[in-house]
Chain A
Amino acid sequence: MFSAAAAGFVHALRRMGSRTTAIVSWLGYATRFSIAVIRETPAAFSRFSLTMREIYFSGVLSLVIILVSGLFVGMVLALQGYDVLQRYGAAESLGVLVALSLVRELGPVVAGLLFASRAGSAITAEIGLMKATEQLSAMEMMAVDPLARVVAPRFWGGIISMPLLAALFSTLGVFGAYIVGVKLIGIDAGAFWGNMQAGVDFRYDIVNGVIKSIVFGVAVSMLAVFEGYDAKPTAEGVSTATTRTVVESSLAILGLDFVLTVFMFRGVA
């Protein structure tokens, strides 16, 4: 009886140890991969045409979803904001409410989530398929480092695209709020823009928003290239990796947003 319990305990301990070892090993591999990608940064910039191509695929081709989403988020924000603000006689503050919401939070976060879904998943699928069809191995056997030729340009293309997309998202959001608030509801245009100009601080609001979007760009791009490179070379493996990219990127964006907000905006209000 006792020996059976002891054997069960040892078995459970072994399983726990095995899982812990696997997690630590995976973390070590992911860290080494990240360092290797960052070390290939000169390759991404010395042949900037490769990175430009990735900016096109990650950034330009994401424009439709980003611009349309930004416009509608801004319009909805204006409707909801006006509904609350007019109860307190503060409808003139709609401009600043929308601008701060977009620049500080919604711009980087929603654009980041959309970027992860549109561009992050595409990067993972592309690299995963290149692995599954032995294109990465072929490159390696041609004495061309896939990290320098394939991974680093996609990583930096994502980082450069992300803040630009977030800025465009916020811009279209403000424009959407203007259409609803000023053109449809009838808020004074001078008050809308004037309060916005007075209430938005360049250093605390805009720069911090840009920093957030850059951090999200780094997180999404690194997760996307890693999941693609680490994907099992099968159809199922690529599909799983693509899903993991979207889920992990979304969680990373939400978690990082909370941490960054705590450090950036404490005491400001």
Chain B
Amino acid sequence: MSASIAPASAPPKAQSDFAVELADVTFAYDRRPVLTGISMQIPRGGVVGIMGGSGCGKTTILRLIGGQLKPNSGRVLVAGESVPDLDREGLHLMRRRLGMLFQFGALFTDMSVYENIAFALREHTDLPEELIRDLVLMKLHAVGLRGASRLMPSELSGGMARRVALARAIALDPMLVLYDEPFAGLDPISLGVVGQLIRRLSDALGITSLVVTHDIYESLKIVDYLYFVSEGKIIAQGTPAEVRASGDGFVRQFVDGAPDGPVPFHYPAAPYRSELLARV
């Protein structure tokens, strides 16, 4: 049950224009439910955010879209194709059209920055090395790190690693990029740089971007639309303007950074008084 902030403003495009569609998706690890009745539509070329606290199922949504997990029920469509129904070959073809930026970059630590970005190009194309070199330098230039091509991942700061990972994610000019907590652990300058890069690259290359994050301020600057997830359900959604103006308790707690509210400060426990007075 999603408490839509502004139902009228939900993505207005026709169904064929959606890069990603989730319809009534349910997923559980063993018997522990993680997602319940998730439905969302991500329009092509848009930047859409998924917000929620830690462990609410945000990353699981990305893994379902990437085909690393299969839903227990419901539909997961990427560019109109049902991801859970794809065979191994189909899944590989679909993944060639998407990029993913992992929480801490997930750069290959035994390869230089250059090799990391050339990796997918070498694996999936027969391009000559000169052309690969040009493409790698172009991608690195786009994220402002052309001068760091010879560095190893261990020599990069957190923000630089995230930018290299972004360059690697767009190496094959994907139609969709999934971002898993792209702002986690970054200083304010790096955070702003990564945020603007996501927006600018999406606009310049026509990439659809799905950003999973819990950084409300940075998200509101760059996304077109936001979904709020709590305990495996979408509980609110809307444009950044609607989110800012929202009176919904959960959304307000997120926007205001309030320690207590619909997401309680205390982990469920027995009454404080009875525990203190209990005999040891």
Contacts and interface: CB of A to CB of B under 8 A. Distances in A.
A binds B: yes
A149 B108 CA distance: 12
A236 B100 CA distance: 27
Given A142-B119, A144-B120, A144-B123, A134 B106 contact: yes
Given A143-B92, A143-B124, A138 B104 contact: no
A133 B92 contact: no
B96 interface: yes
B44 interface: no
Contacts of B157: none
A149 to B, nearest CB: 8
B100 A138 contact: yes
B71 interface: no
B109 A141 contact: no
A234 interface: no
Nearest to A142: B120
Q: Is the interface of B mostly helix, strand, loop or mixed?
A: mixed
B100 A141 contact: yes
Given A140-B68, A141-B100, A135 B120 contact: no
Interface string A96-138: 0000000000000000000000000000000001100111011
Interface in B151-185: 178
B167 to A, nearest CB: 13
Given A143-B92, A143-B95, A143-B96, A138 B106 contact: yes
B170 to A, nearest CB: 12
B240 to A, nearest CB: 28
Contact of A141 (B95, B108, B123): B95
Interface string A138-159: 1111111000010000000000
A110 B103 CA distance: 43
A145 to B, nearest CB: 8
B212 interface: no
B66 interface: yes
Given A135-B108, A137-B106, A138-B106, 10 more contacts: A129-B109, A138-B100, A138-B108, A140-B95, A141-B100, A141-B178, A142-B99, A142-B120, A143-B96, A143-B123
Interface of A: 129-130, 133-135, 137-144, 149
Interface of B: 66, 68, 91-93, 95-96, 98-100, 102-104, 106-109, 119-120, 123-124, 178
22 contacts: A134-B104, A135-B106, A137-B68, A137-B102, A138-B102, A138-B108, A140-B95, A141-B66, A141-B95, A141-B98, A141-B99, A141-B100, A141-B178, A142-B95, A143-B91, A143-B92, A143-B95, A143-B96, A143-B123, A144-B119, A144-B120, A149-B123
